[in-house]
Structure 1
Amino acid sequence: MAGAEPMGKSGGVALFWNNLGDVKLMSMSRFHIDVSVVANNDKCWRLTGLYGLCDMDILGHQCTWERGRNTNYWIEIRLDRVLANAKWLELFLTVKVYNLEGSPSDHSPLLLVPESQHKWVKKHKFRFENAWLLEPACFQIVKDYWEDHVTHNVMHKLSNCAESLQVWGCEITGCFQKRIKDCKGELKVLRNKRDTQYVEEYEATKK
């Protein structure tokens, strides 16, 4: 048995075991207890008990880890979680946790959004997108502008070339965003399909 005394009615944890194997206390406080266990079959595992934390709901697909897709041993479980205590939840009443599907990893990344996202209009500064480098038109726009305005100073060239790229880039970025949205929609439909054809389509879309 291992445990920590509460302070009044707050905190305090205890762990009891019987024939569990060799249990080693790693760390402990009024709000947690962490042990390492070597079971009777010599397998080692870790047990951590937490007091006063809420396991937050996930929006989207409920499983966060998978293995063996397209095999007879395909499994999905909710392995990753977001925990918070009551005081933190009172500070962020509109908090949300999203499962971001489509990761190349066997784990899905979780997105924590503490507060509601309010939209506002602001003036956007020019920002060069690395994805534009994959488009031949990007190089051509810069080349043409530089050659057509040889008498302008460098700062003037940079400013106006940026404007040209921004106008062109809005269309390209819009295409990327639509493709990403379409891919996410396809992944959502294919996620729980177990036929070989659907699994292959899922993996191809995921890439």
Structure 2
Amino acid sequence: MSLLSWNCRGLGNPTAVRVLTDLVRAKRPKVLFLMETFVDKRKMELVRVQNGYDSMFVVDAIGHRGGLALLWMNSVEVEVTAFSSNFIDVQLALDVGKPYWRFTGFYGLPERHRRRESWQLLRSLATHSNLPWVIMGDFNDLLNQADKRGRLPHPEWLITGFREAVNDCGLRELPFDGHQFTWEWSRGTANMVEEKLDRIFTIESWLSLYDGAQASSLICPYSDHLPLMLSPESLNRPGSRRRFCFDNMWLREDKCREIVAQSWERTRGMDVITRVECCGRDIWRWGRNYNKEFQRKIEKCKGRLAYLRNRHDSESMMEYPRVEKELLFLLEQQHIF
């Protein structure tokens, strides 16, 4: 079971939805928290259905600003307890009979002159419940100068204010694997900036429940923020036998038509049902390998992006947008399925 948090920077764009769908397909998070959706509940309903979630709670965007959404599967028990344009607060249990704990999806105010409001909001949220607590999202704040690369140092008053708020709430940061600078701006230019704006915080009582919890950032295109994934429990899933499904993506391949023709010729004289069954098996054997190869291309692009994300030489800077464009093209093809 896992939770995924992402500042998606707008879901009105079909490309953004395709990137989200790939994330969901690859990581299968049971709970999904999205920030800066830039859409209302009606449009989020389409996103919910497309990604196979059973329930959701939405804070509508105001014009082309803000917007929060929490989506979850029915296997997770969720009760929304409070919300605003900057957070969604819930009590949840990973399964029936499992202990309840508290999850808060948080989006810090981006304007510097309003950061004190964000810090006070954190302090207020800390008093709302005694349940074990996890809070994750885009805090729009840094804890130290090492959380930033590029241009001018971060103002010390902002670092101090955020650190004091975190300490006052009794929170401790949960480390995550992967690229640490979760937000970037002006990649490939002299003004490029990288910052660790997205984080996961917990309190001791939650860590005592899930002392083996793991977290990581995920490389994906489109948004200037990286998603964060939190896995309180093991992600090992028992294998299941898949039934045959025809993939519309195969219709683009001439080889698929060749296999159908060859199979139909090979089974000449048999009854129609048998011929269809044989043809289905032939297509499935070929399609299974085709899909694996297609997925390998996607994973190869993601791996290359992860490698390039941390490099700042001119060659890598030029290659990054090319690989990102290639990945978006592959995701568009995948969307046909």
TM-score, scaled to structure 1: 0.64
User: For 1:107 and 1:61, how far apart are their aligned partners in 2?
Assistant: 11
Q: Is the aligned partner of 1:193 residue 2:289?
A: no
- Residue number in structure 1 paired with 2:225: 107
Find the partner of 1:73 among 191, 198, 213: 191
Q: Is the aligned partner of 1:86 residue 2:224?
A: no
Within-5 A mapping of 1:116-127: 116-118=234-236, 120-127=238-245
User: For 2:232 and 2:260, how far apart are their aligned partners in 1?
Assistant: 41
Q: Are the equivalent residues in 2 in contact too, given 1:57–1:97 (CA < 8 A)?
A: yes
Change (3 A) 1:106 1:133: farther
Q: Deviations over 1:22-75 (max 9, x none)?
A: x8787935526xxxxxxxxxxxxxx8x562443221111101111100111111
User: For 2:318 and 2:262, how far apart are their aligned partners in 1?
Assistant: 43
Root-mean-square deviation (Å): 3.5
Change (3 A) 1:30 1:186: closer
Paired residues, number: 172
Within-5 A mapping of 1:51-66: 51-66=169-184
Q: The residue matched to 1:81 in structure 2 has which SS? A: strand
User: For 1:131 and 1:83, how far apart are their aligned partners in 2?
Assistant: 41
Q: Could you list the runs of 5+ residues in structure 1 that have no partner in the other structure?
A: 1-19, 33-46
User: For 1:183 and 1:58, how far apart are their aligned partners in 2?
Assistant: 22
The letter of the residue matching 1:31 is: T
Instruction: Name the one with the larger helix percent.
Output: 2
TM-score, scaled to structure 2: 0.42
Q: The residue matched to 1:137 in structure 2 has which SS? A: helix
Identity of aligned residues (%): 33
- Residue number in structure 1 paired with 2:295: 177
- Residue number in structure 2 paired with 1:31: 127
User: For 1:112 and 1:83, how far apart are their aligned partners in 2?
Assistant: 11
Q: Are the equivalent residues in 2 in contact too, given 1:103–1:109 (CA < 8 A)?
A: no
User: For 1:134 and 1:112, how far apart are their aligned partners in 2?
Assistant: 37
User: For 1:70 and 1:30, how far apart are their aligned partners in 2?
Assistant: 40
Q: Deviations over 1:105-163 (max 9, x none)?
A: 11112222222233644433224445434433234434654676686445x55544432
Q: Are the equivalent residues in 2 in contact too, given 1:93–1:115 (CA < 8 A)?
A: no
The letter of the residue matching 1:201 is: E
Q: More relative contact order in 1 or in 2 (CA 8 Å, sep 6+)?
A: 2
Change (3 A) 1:89 1:140: farther
* CA deviation after TM superposition for structure 1 residue 193, in Å: 2.4
Q: Could you list the runs of 5+ residues in structure 2 that have no partner in the other structure?
A: 1-112, 129-161, 326-337
User: For 1:123 and 1:78, how far apart are their aligned partners in 2?
Assistant: 41
Q: Are the equivalent residues in 1 in contact too, given 2:179–2:310 (CA < 8 A)?
A: no
User: For 1:166 and 1:96, how far apart are their aligned partners in 2?
Assistant: 36
